Structure 1
Amino acid sequence: MAAAAGTLYVEGIQLSRASQMIELLQPLAGSFATSIFAVGIVSAGVSSQFPNILMLPWLICDYNETERDMSLSKYRLIVFFISILGLVVPIFDAQPVFVMIISQALNAIILPLTVLGIFYLVNRKDLMGTYKANIKSNIILSLILIFAIFTSVTGIKGVIELIN
């Protein structure tokens, strides 16, 4: 939905409801448009839910150099709260398209931070030893960082325009 909304926005077509996207699918899929759309939405949610709920507990385990034992109550609690985030749209009666656009914009903000983290880590001689980044690697990482910052700024501007 977010990709479709972003693509159509360039054409001056704004989408704010999921039902509008079903209408866009009808010329291609006919009466199956609603079913195809529903299967797509559920598939997208399920396929991203499992990595999302496990990412934070696994990162904590990796950081603490402990075994990934998801049966511990502290990890179950984290998984529970992350799973509850999926109820933001129905509980707050939010527009699904808006929530998806915001979540994608947040991903664009996280990307430069991730690249900066990688940049920092690969340039530490004490950590990387002989595999420390060379000039070519740093130039490539710098280009990636510039692109990531560009996409972040574009995403933030888009969200600000959407809110106003």
Structure 2
Amino acid sequence: MRTFFKNIGPGPLVAAAFIGPGTVTVCTLAGVQFGFTLLWAMVLSVIATIVLQEMTVRLGLVTKKGLSEVIRQELSTPLVRGFSIILILSAIVIGNAAYQGGNISGGVLGLETLFGASSINLGHLQLNSYSLIIGVIAFVLLYTGNYKIIERFLVFLVILMSLAFLTTAILTKPNMSALFKGALIPKFPEGSTLLIIALIGTTVVPYNLFLHASLVKEKWKAVSDLSYARKDTIIAIALGGIVSMSIIISAAAITSAEVSNAADLALALEPLFGGFAKYVLATGLFSAGITSAITAPLAAAYVATGCLGWHSSLKSARFRAVWSIVLVLGVLLSSSGLKPIQIIKFAQVANGILLPVIVGFLLWVMNRNTLLGTYKNSKVNNIFGGLIFLISLLLAVAAINKVFNLNVF
């Protein structure tokens, strides 16, 4: 048991990254609008995430490099390499800045549900007090440059978030027969297509593929640790999936059409289960926001330093500069007056378009014998990876369709 806890590592950080306000919002809408019917989409998402994240774990441990470093190294044609680096940099760094606004805004919603609204004036600029608080916490934690401190803090918040959402789901006393039916039997109710795609897209997150490959180098030093890294990945992501499903289950208990995010869900559950439910859910939403507010800038820094060939030390000046820029932009966006849902939707569109490109790159490098040798993908890995690639293409088409109103669906 002691060895098990000692080897809990980047997995919970990846779970913390994908269970952000975007996931909470999408799961809430899925539960309110379709009850347990779309639980199967979350089960599919968790399987896909485990498959892809296991590949990045293998890549990081064997090569001792992050995904962006490997892509930069393996693309020998200058034009292709340059285009790929620009695409990845713009989508991940800019996309994460947008996500950061949504992450901080989600944490703010949780605090506002508990304590009410609060803002401060800096000259002509009005900032949300809670945005600044969350930004300062994230800055201090990242600036320490100590992986163990960051890991332990995020593991604590993931446990807190898990307990909050699981407790809320249990309070609703769900019909277990209907729950398992929704989780195991795929159904496509009218008007659910984009929500199904959103459930998958908010769980299979492109920047997590970069983050995980880089973090395994911080936690483990030898390929012999691969079994520990795999267990860590499977357990953490499965737990993250259960937390996401708990949000759907909680939201399914609500009949009000006015629920559009987890803050609304917290207030809607209060008449049924008392003020306790509001505090528990608001704590979960705050935890979801702040964990993602830490991992998004961290991922952006790993991607930027890897793509540009910089040293990716947690304490290097360039590394700190990248995450600082993303963090500051996130605080400003969350205080801009834009609704959090608008910020989150923008970032999801960017990630939806990028996902098949990143999955394609990952499958390509994972089949390179010169890079991975006996640790390259097996046929089973490639079959599952190919299916996920096709699903990610569907996500990209849906994202483009949403932006340009092409009426593909």
1:109 touches 1:152 (CA, 8 Å); kept in 2? yes
- 1:1-164 equivalences under 5 Å are 1-10=25-34, 13=257, 15-16=259-260, 20-62=264-306, 64=309, 66=311, 68-72=313-317, 74-87=318-331, 88-91=333-336, 93-154=337-398, 157=401
Aligned mates of 2:384, 2:304 — CA distance in 1 = 29
When structure 1 is superposed on structure 2, of 6-15 and 100-109 the one drifting more is 6-15
The alignment yields a C-alpha RMSD, in angstroms, of 3.3
**Structure 1 residues not aligned, in runs of 5+:** none
Q: Residues 23 and 83 from structure 1, CA distance in 2 versus in 1: closer, same or farther, beyond 3 angstroms?
A: same
For residue 335 of structure 2, give the secondary structure of its aligned residue in structure 1.
Answer: helix
Q: Is the 8 A contact 1:53 1:79 kept in 2?
A: yes
Residues 20-67 of structure 1 show CA distances to partners (whole Å, capped at 9, x for unaligned) of 333322234422454334322221111112211212223344553735
Contact residue 101 and residue 159 of structure 1 kept, 8 A = no
CA contact (8 A) 1:115 1:145 kept: yes
Pair 139,19 (structure 1): closer, same or farther in 2 beyond 3 Å? closer
Q: Return the alpha-carbon distance in structure 2 between the equivalents of residues 94 and 6 of structure 1.
A: 23
CA distance in 1: counterparts of 2:404 and 2:263, whole angstroms: 24
Distance 1:61 1:136, change over 3 A: same
Greater share of residues in helix: 1
Whole-angstrom distance in 2 between the partners of 1:131 and 1:19: 45
Structure-2-length-normalised TM-score: 0.33
State how far apart, in whole Å, the 2-side matches of 1:66 and 1:156 are. 35
Query: Structure 2: how far apart are the matches of 1:128 and 1:16?
Result: 45
Kept in 2, the 8 Å contact 1:15–1:21? The answer is yes
Identity of aligned residues (%): 26
1:18 to partner: Cα distance: 6.1
Cα offset for 1:14? Answer: 6.1
In structure 1, distance between residues paired with 2:258 and 2:400? 17
Judged with a 3 Å threshold, the aligned counterparts in structure 2 of structure 1 residues 103 and 40 are, in CA distance, closer, same or farther, namely farther
Confirm or deny: 8 A CA contact 1:8 1:14 kept in the other structure: no
CA distance in 1, matches of 2:305, 2:356: 24
Contact 1:18–1:96 (CA<8 Å) still a contact in 2? no
TM-score by length of 1: 0.70
For 1:156 and 1:127, the matched residues in 2 are separated by 34
Say which SS state the counterpart of residue 386 (structure 2) adopts. Answer: helix
Counterparts of 1:146 and 1:27, CA distance in 2: 43
User: 1:52 and 1:129, CA in 2 relative to 1: closer, same or farther beyond 3 A?
Assistant: same
**Number of equivalent positions:** 159
Using a 3 Å threshold, how does the CA distance of structure 1 residues 158 and 15 change in structure 2: closer, same or farther? Answer: farther
Q: What one-letter code is carried by the residue in structure 2 that aligns with 1:79? A: W
Unaligned runs of 5+ in 2: 1-24, 36-190, 192-256
Q: What do the CA deviations read for 1:63-120 (whole angstroms, capped 9, x no partner)?
A: 5373514241x333212211123231321x1122333344344443333222111111
Distance of 1:84 and 1:78 partners within structure 2: 10
Note closer, same or farther for the CA distance 1:52–1:133 as it changes in structure 2 (3 Å cut).
same
